[in-house]
Amino acid sequence: MSNCIEIRGLSKTYKNNKQLIEALKPIDLDIAQGEIFGLLGPNGAGKTTMIKLMLGIIAPTSGSCHILGEDISSLKAKELIGYLPENHRFPLYLSGQQMLEFYGNLGGLSGKTLSTRIDEVLEFVNMTEWRKLKIQRYSKGMMQRIGLAQALLNRPKLLFLDEPTDGIDPVGRMEIRHILEQVRKEGTTIFVNSHLLSEVELITDRVAILRKGVVVKAGNTHELTQSHDTYIITLSAGTPPNTLAGLTHYNAETQEVELVAHTAKALNEAIDALRKHECLLQSVAPKKSTLEEIFIGLMHEKQEHLAPASR
Ligand SMILES: Nc1ncnc2c1ncn2[C@@H]1O[C@H](COP(=O)(O)OP(=O)(O)OP(=O)(O)O)[C@@H](O)[C@H]1O
Ligand SMILES: [Mg+2]
């Protein structure tokens, strides 16, 4: 699969009254077409700076960013992008449809082309029913869905979403996840910036975690949350022997045995030992950590202990 985004040595240093703030140290990053990518990091880590650079809103101190081969400073690159800003504010006195007409016109669409496209995007985000209602009467979930419709108007190849599900209830969040899955099926790459880690874990293929302007971890979301050497063995009868190799924890209530096994052989030996000890096994599964646990762990580590993440 070819890349949608190619970032090379991109950095940003702000100058404030002679004081230099290195908001983003030089980073390299590739994002494939059709990927859903999440950018995470604590307050002040450089997330907004990175998005502003990728949207071409601010100029980099060094490096480059290309969207489908187009330099981000070019108009061509901007035509490939859809953007849903955080806390967006559409004119409240307009209906959803009028707002889409307004933004469609700004984006150079008009007449039949625009009205057909508005019908399509409204249907896509499940807002056809509410198109004539004034935006001030929309719920938060509807507001985000109409915002997504706006961001999709020009059929972007790359969609930037800043906190797309903030303040939305679980059902509304599921609806948005479903819409994003559909967007991706059409080949659009999605770049999400969010504080809601459990949400990011559900929707992204890959994440990068920023800290003080440095990518401290990047990788496949599934692989990151899967800890390969720790397993949970659930028993339906029996208790594990204290001498069990690799045993780290036993929860008598849930009958879960947590153990470390570095090879398949070691894991199977532990299973044999349990069965020899009259234990009946119900399941064996690698232990999963949540993105939140990984994130908090990284934030507590000293910066010098963190190897810079590769692309
Ligand atoms: N225009 C600016 N001038 C000077 N410093 C800035 C400017 N914008 C951001 N900074 C500084 O750059 C650093 C990164 O800020 P940025 O807004 O990118 O972080 P963030 O990860 O988006 O944080 P948050 O989660 O709070 O939105 C911070 O130290 C911030 O104070
Ligand atoms: Mg920010």
Protein residues with CB under 6 Å of any ligand 1 atom: 14, 16, 21, 23, 41, 43-49
CATH number assigned to the domain with residue range 3-223, chosen from the 4 options 3.40.50.300, 1.10.1200.10, 3.30.300.160, 3.40.30.10 = 3.40.50.300
Q: How far does the centroid of ligand 1 lie from the alpha carbon of residue 215, in Å?
A: 15
Which CATH number is associated with domain 229-287? 3.30.70
In this prediction, residue 165 carries a pLDDT of: 86
3-state secondary structure of 254: coil
Determine the Cα angle at 290 with ends 287 and 294, to 5°.
Answer: 105
Task: Measure 198 CA to ligand 2 centroid, in angstroms.
Answer: 19
Ligand 1: which atom is nearest the Cα of residue 210?
Answer: 21
C-alpha of residue 86 to centroid of ligand 2, in Å: 9
Mutation to probe ligand 1, out of 11, 13, 14 (largest number of atoms < 8 A from CB): 14
* Sequence ranges of the domains in the chain: 3-223, 229-287
Q: Which of 99, 309, 119, 115 is nearest to 220 (CA)?
A: 309
pTM of the predicted structure, to 2 decimals = 0.82
Residue 158: CB partners within 8 Å, gap ≥ 6?
Answer: 4, 5, 67, 68, 80, 81, 82, 188, 189, 190, 191
The total number of residues written for the chain in this structure = 311
Q: Tell me the CA–centroid distance for residue 44 and ligand 1, in Å.
A: 5
> What string of pLDDT tens digits covers the 311 residues of the chain?
589 999 999 999 999 888 999 999 999 999 999 999 999 988 889 998 999 999 999 999 999 999 999 999 999 999 999 999 888 889 999 999 999 999 999 989 999 999 999 999 999 999 999 999 999 999 999 999 999 999 999 999 999 998 888 888 888 899 999 999 999 999 999 999 887 888 888 899 999 999 999 998 888 988 888 776 889 999 999 999 989 999 999 999 999 999 999 999 999 999 999 999 999 999 999 888 788 888 888 888 766 555 555 45
